[in-house]
């Protein structure tokens, strides 16, 4: 008997929406705060979250996700939610 693998896309879409909401609450004064990961402050984590969406898009298109940065640069301190939303729209 062949077991069907559930479609992960609805769960991923829900996660994208949830994280986008979290990023909308991040203010510039939060960006230097630590996270549970000692290598990431809030700014780096937000930049990484934006990068992961783009990497998922590249992978979905059949490309090599390593061609996209895992941590994006050039995002204004008040622009992480916008950058994340724009990355979602490209998917």
Residues recorded for the chain: 91
User: Can you give the residue range of the structural domain that contains 82?
Assistant: 29-89
Report yes or no on 33 lying in a domain. Answer: yes
How far, in Å, CA of 84 to CA of 91, rounded?
11
User: Can you read off the two tokens belonging to residue 88?
Assistant: 């979602």
- Residue 23 resides in a domain: no
Q: Is residue 48 in a domain?
A: yes
What is the tally of structural domains in the chain? 1
Could you report the per-residue pLDDT of 7-19, keeping only the tens digit for each?
999 999 999 999 9
Is residue 47 included in any domain, yes or no? yes
Among residues 21, 43, 20, 39, the alpha carbon closest in space to that of 30 is found at 43
Tell whether 11 is covered by a domain. Answer: no
Judge whether 22 lies within some domain: no
Query: Is the CB of residue 28 less than 8 Å from the CB of residue 37?
Result: no
pLDDT in tens, 32-87: 999 999 999 999 999 999 999 999 999 999 999 999 999 999 999 999 999 999 99
The Cα 75–Cα 2 span in angstroms is 46
Measured CA angle at 48 (ends 7, 61), to 5 deg: 45
pTM above 0.75, yes or no: yes
Residue 18 lies in a domain: no
């Amino acid at each position: 008997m062949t077991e069907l693998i559930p479609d992960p896309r609805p769960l991923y879409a829900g996660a994208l929406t949830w994280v986008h909401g979290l990023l909308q609450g991040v203010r510039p004064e939060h960006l230097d705060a630590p996270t549970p990961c000692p290598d990431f402050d809030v700014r780096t984590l937000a930049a990484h979250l934006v990068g992961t969406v783009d990497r998922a898009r590249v992978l979905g298109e059949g490309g090599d996700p390593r061609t996209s940065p895992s941590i994006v640069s050039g995002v204004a301190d008040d622009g992480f939610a916008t950058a994340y939303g724009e990355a979602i729209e490209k998917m």
